[in-house]
Structures are given as structure tokens and as C-alpha cells.
Amino acid sequence: MGAHSSENRVQTPGCTDQSPKQCVDLALDAMGGRERLQQIRSVRLQTIGHTALAEQSYRQDPFITSYESGQTTLDLANHHVLREAKLSWPEADPNEAEVDTVWVAGANGCVRRTKGGDSLCPLGDFYAAREMLALGPESLLLAASHATDLHFEPPETLRSTLHAVVAFSWERVPVHILLNAFNHLPDAVETIQEFHDFWYFWGDVQQRIYFDNWELFHGVVYPTNSVEERNGIIWRSSQALNVEFNVPIEEKTFAMGDNVARKSAASTGWNRPFRGEEDTPPAPGVDLFLGSWNSTVVKQPDGIVILEAPISELYTQGVIEEARKRYPGVPVKAVLSTSDSWPHTGGVRFAVAKGIPVYILDLNRPLLDKMIKAPHTLDPDALENMKSSKEPH
């Protein structure tokens, strides 16, 4: 049976008897037409927004919130992003809540601009810029139209309305676009991917970005509001107060120090290695390793206790190896984790994979049980590999 016949088995509200490409063409027409979207070479957005700080304490929903205002310039022709923002951070010290940030990203990397020159950009910002360029509202349907694996998926209900779903892959990331059956506009885009920001440790993260508050700009129907949901949590929202297309672009605006940019792109992000050169021994048999998040090795008569498994699998593995190096032949009998904040729990999965008992606060158990069960198929860690190697019963 041919591909077209199998595709027609899937219900396609608003696109009955249409091929996936024809369905995308209807969406392109709804946004103003393929030609108008192709003619957009640059976009400048004046935005305000907020982010739920879920990484600070995953179980304390509703979460505390940070606020942001700024300007984003997308150079679609040359694949550059410039983000200038003022961030209001709720946990800052007195009189230090307002922070100005500027980062620039391109195909080769990303830098943060400071008074002292370019500095390393977090890996999460680099990947966020790549997604903005490829899957933003002005590019999404064009990317779908050119995809060789474009196909229909089963319809989804969004805001009480059944939507046709067209799907394709972008750099091995599965992308689903939810098309409104009545006006054909893309109301949401869904992906499953590994992120490099604070969601890194959750592995295969389900992301849905809602597009809303559509307005007409130079013949293009454009969503001025986007709301991003990750693993079912409404994480952040951004509202464009002003939208400009084809703004003048100067190359120097996106200039980056190549050395810093390449280092940023090559960064391991949150999968940081442990370095045990410096430690503070507060007592005999107690080795405290100071850092952004501390970890401590405690030698007891019957074995070693690791206090905190922070940051990443690689980091916690390094702490355990350092403990065994310092105390040869002494077993690691336990790992203690005291927090539900992501940086403090980043290595717990590794301890579980190695069969080390993990002791936690009872209030944190639902969160950590969820973390242990989270799929990591896109970038398998030790626990995912251990699960997949087991024979089914």
C-alpha cells in the first residue's frame, strides 16, 4: 500500500483529502503566503516576559518567577541572533535584582558581551538561538514544507478544538505542528529533545510552544505571544510589543570573538567533570570539595558516605572515584541528597545506576522518583543504559 494511502488513515481536521505538504501550504497561506515569509530576511522583536523558576524547587508549584524585557534581533539570512535583555531576579541580594545581559549567537558558537569583552556563553543559550532561527514562527512552516520526512500524525485537541498534526524531523529532533482546523494557523509546535539549560537532567523533555495573539504586520499574520511548556509545566511566556521585519543589519552587530565562540559551542554544558585538586578537610576523614555546589566525602568505620551528588553524572562519578582513590578498598555505602533543586540532584541517577543506596528527604521523594524514571533515550546516561540492557521479564 502506498504512503499516501497510509497517511489518509490519520484523521486530518481542516486538511481532509490533502497531502501533508498541501496542509502546510494552507497554513502558509493563512500566515500571508509562502512568498511573503520567504522574503523575511530579519526580524526584530521588543518583548516582555516571565519565567517560572522551576529549577529552584521543582515541587513548590506555583513557582517563584523572574521577569525580563528586551530586544531580540534575528538575522535569518546569515543565521545570527542578538539578544539584549534586562532581567529582574527575585532571589538576588538587595539592590542587585536588575541584571543586563547581551548575547550573540551564530553558526559557530555564542558569546556574552561584557564590559571586559566577550565571555563564554552558556551552552543552553547557543542551542536556544539555533531553535529560534529554525523553528520560530517566521521559519517553522517553511522548514516543514521543505522536510523530506513530512507526514501526518494523529490529531490533537488544543483549547477544545481538534487540530491536524503535521510532523517532520529537525536535526534528529521530532517536530509536531498543530494546525487549527478552522483558520489553518499553527497554534502550537511540539518537540522532544534534550536541553542544555536547567532542564538538562530531565533527559527527553517534552516541549510545547503555544502561538497566540496573532496580528498583521506588513501582510504577515504573526503570533505576538508565545508560551512555552516543558514536561507539562508552563515554564515561560513572552509577549512581543513591537514586531519589525527586514530591519537593516550591520555585520559588526553580530561580531564575535571566534575563539570564545567556538569554546562556547564545544562546552559540555551542565555535564561538568569533577576536579578534586582543591578540598577543605574540616575534620579527619572528611573531605569537603567547594564549588558552586559542594560535595563532601565522609569516611566512616564501615564505609564512605557521599554528601550531595550535584551537577551531573560525570561530576558525581568523579566524586566517587576520588573517594575510592583517597580511601582504597573502602566501599561507598551511601549517597545523601538534601535538596530538590536541580543542581543539587544532578548526579543522583548515577548513584542509582551504580546500586549505591541514596538517602533523601521524604518530601523530595516524589520528585526524585520522577527523575529516576525520566527517559534519557536521546543521550543515554548510565541509568538509561542499565535499564535498556536488562532482559524483559
Domain of residue 66, CATH code: 2.50.20.10
Could you tell me if residue 271 is inside a domain? Answer: no
C-alpha cell of 181? 482546523
pLDDT band at 171 (very low <50, low <70, confident <90, very high): very high
Same domain, 24 and 98: yes
Determine the angle formed by the axes of helices 258-265 and 123-135, rounding to 10 degrees.
90
Task: Flag whether 273 is in a domain.
Answer: no
Domain that residue 318 falls in: 280-389
E strands, 233-283, are: 233-245, 280-283
231 confidence band (pLDDT: 50, 70, 90): very high
288 with 256, same domain: the answer is: no
**CATH classification at residue 340:** 3.60.15.10
Q: Alpha helices, DSSP H only, in 203-272?
A: 258-265
The three-state secondary structure class of 153 is strand
Report which of 150, 156, 203 is spatially closest to residue 179, judged by C-alpha positions: 156
Contact 66, 88 (CB under 8 A): yes
Band the pLDDT of 303: cuts 50, 70, 90: very high
Residue 6's pLDDT is 44
Is 186 in the same domain as 76?
yes
pLDDT, tens digit, 9 for 90 and up, residues 239-288: 999 999 999 998 888 999 889 999 999 998 998 899 876 778 889 999 99
For 268, phi and psi rounded to 5 degrees? -85, 0
User: Does some domain include residue 218?
Assistant: yes
pLDDT band of 3, cuts 50, 70, 90: very low
Same domain, 19 and 87: yes
The Cα–Cα gap between 311 and 322 comes to 16
Last residue of a domain, one of 234, 265, 296: 265
pLDDT at 120: 92
Note whether 315 and 219 are same-domain residues.
no
Averaged pLDDT of the chain: 92
Cα 242–chain centre separation: 25
pLDDT for 190 equals: 98
Rg over alpha carbons for the chain, rounded to the nearest Å, is 24
> How many structural domains is the chain composed of?
2
pLDDT per residue over 7-32, tens digit each?
446 889 999 999 999 999 999 999 99
Q: Are residues 256 and 311 in the same domain?
A: no
Q: Which residues contact 95 (CB under 8 A, 6 or more apart)?
A: none
Q: Does 220 lie in the same domain as 103?
A: yes
Given a cut of 90, whether residue 390 has pLDDT beyond it is no
Domain boundary among 232, 265, 298: 265
What is the rounded end-to-end Cα distance, in angstroms, of the chain?
A: 35
> Among 242, 265, 288, which residue terminates a domain?
265
pLDDT greater than 80 at residue 207: yes
Q: Same domain, yes or no, for 260 and 284?
A: no
91's CB contacts (< 8 A; 6+ apart) are 53, 56, 64
Residues 25 and 90 in one domain: yes
